[in-house]
């Protein structure tokens, strides 16, 4: 399990119209969180140097993925591991969904600060996978079919033993991926072996 922390990056006295503006970042360290935030910030202000950027921000740690002293570990970590294994299976076959060749990165779920997150494979953005925030798909690099799939994965991680296709599009039995039949069968079998997917009645 990759240990990640949840940080709040705030900009005191920088944005006059939005004095309370802040962003959440998950990262291994405060420095990594600041640099991740800087990459997004520099798209709006390309002249800003990282050394100047760190002078205008404050970083506050909100939580961590590994349990602290006297804390119990997240009970769904085994399910996160199952889902991340499935994502790697999907991303290593066919059209390589949920994998960015540009960044050599797979999408991945992780737990930090008492919340479930999905790191987008292409942008590296950390999406809060909370059912109360359905608009997060606007920050997701893929279309509705894969958004439905990762929401199925979210529900499985949160304890639903029959989450496949609950969010539409057929889940891992979807027939519109344009993967080969052999690749789809391999992905489905992997999901069955891991306990994520139930066999269909006609199999």
Q: b/e map of 113-147 (b: 16 or more CB within 10 Å)?
A: bebbbbbbbbbebbbbbeeeeeebbeebebeeebb
Same domain for 47 and 83? no
Contacts (Cβ under 8 Å, ≥6 apart) of 85: 190, 194
Same domain for 54 and 81? no
End position of a domain, from candidates 64, 85, 104? 64
Q: What is the mean pLDDT of the chain?
A: 88
Report yes or no on 200 lying in a domain.
no
CB 171: neighbour CB atoms within 10 A? 22
pLDDT digits (tens, 9 = 90+) for 63-97: 887 777 777 777 788 999 999 999 999 999 999 99
Same domain for 18 and 100? no
pLDDT score, position 195: 95
Q: Which domain holds residue 158?
A: 77-193
pLDDT score, position 136: 55
CA pseudo-torsion sign 148, 67, 91, 197: negative
Same domain for 88 and 138? yes
Confidence of residue 133 (pLDDT cuts 50, 70, 90): low
pLDDT digits (tens, 9 = 90+) for 11-41: 998 888 888 888 888 888 999 999 989 988 8
Confidence of residue 132 (pLDDT cuts 50, 70, 90): low
End position of a domain, from candidates 24, 40, 64? 64
pLDDT score, position 55: 93
Judge whether residue 9 has pLDDT over 80. yes
pLDDT score, position 69: 72
User: What is d(CA 123, CA 34) in angstroms, rounded to the nearest whole number?
Assistant: 16
Confidence of residue 135 (pLDDT cuts 50, 70, 90): low
Report yes or no on 202 lying in a domain.
no
Same domain for 19 and 116? no
Residues 144-164: what's their mean pLDDT? 93
Same domain for 51 and 24? yes
User: What is d(CA 9, CA 21) in angstroms, rounded to the nearest whole number?
Assistant: 9
Total tally of structural domains belonging to the chain: 2
Q: For the chain, what's the residue count?
A: 203
Report yes or no on 160 lying in a domain.
yes
Same domain for 86 and 55? no
Residues 163-183: what's their mean pLDDT? 92
Give me 7's structure tokens: 């940080």
Report yes or no on 71 lying in a domain.
no
User: What is d(CA 119, CA 126) in angstroms, rounded to the nearest whole number?
Assistant: 4
Q: Is 62 left (phi over 0), alpha (psi -120 to 50) or beta?
A: alpha
Q: Model-level pTM?
A: 0.76
Report yes or no on 117 lying in a domain.
yes
Report yes or no on 169 lying in a domain.
yes
Report yes or no on 38 lying in a domain.
yes
Report yes or no on 138 lying in a domain.
yes
Percent of the chain exceeding pLDDT 90 equals 54
Give me 197's structure tokens: 């997917």
Same domain for 27 and 116? no
pLDDT score, position 134: 57
pLDDT score, position 94: 93
Same domain for 50 and 108? no
pLDDT score, position 197: 93
More confident residue, 202 or 37: 37
Judge whether residue 106 has pLDDT over 90. yes
Same domain for 167 and 117? yes
Same domain for 117 and 187? yes
More confident residue, 132 or 1: 132
Same domain for 85 and 172? yes
């Amino acid at each position: 399990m990759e240990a990640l922390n949840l940080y709040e990056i705030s900009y005191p006295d920088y944005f006059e119209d939005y004095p309370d503006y802040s962003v959440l970042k998950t990262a291994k360290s405060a420095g990594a969180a600041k640099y991740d935030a800087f990459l997004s910030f520099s798209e709006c202000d390309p002249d800003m140097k990282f050394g100047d950027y760190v002078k205008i921000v404050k970083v506050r740690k909100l939580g961590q993925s590994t349990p602290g002293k006297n804390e119990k570990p997240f009970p769904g970590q085994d399910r996160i591991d199952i889902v991340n294994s499935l994502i790697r299976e999907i991303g290593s076959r066919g059209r390589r969904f949920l994998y960015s060749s540009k960044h050599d990165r797979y999408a991945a779920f992780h737990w930090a600060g008492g919340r479930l997150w999905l790191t987008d494979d292409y942008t590296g953005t950390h999406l809060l996978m909370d059912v109360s925030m359905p608009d997060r798909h606007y920050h997701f690099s893929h279309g509705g079919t894969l958004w439905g799939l990762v929401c199925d994965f979210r529900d499985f991680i949160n304890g639903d033993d029959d989450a496949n296709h609950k969010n539409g599009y057929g889940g891992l039995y979807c027939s519109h991926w344009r993967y080969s039949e052999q690749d789809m069968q391999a992905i489905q079998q992997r999901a069955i072996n891991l306990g994520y997917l139930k066999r269909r009645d006609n199999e």
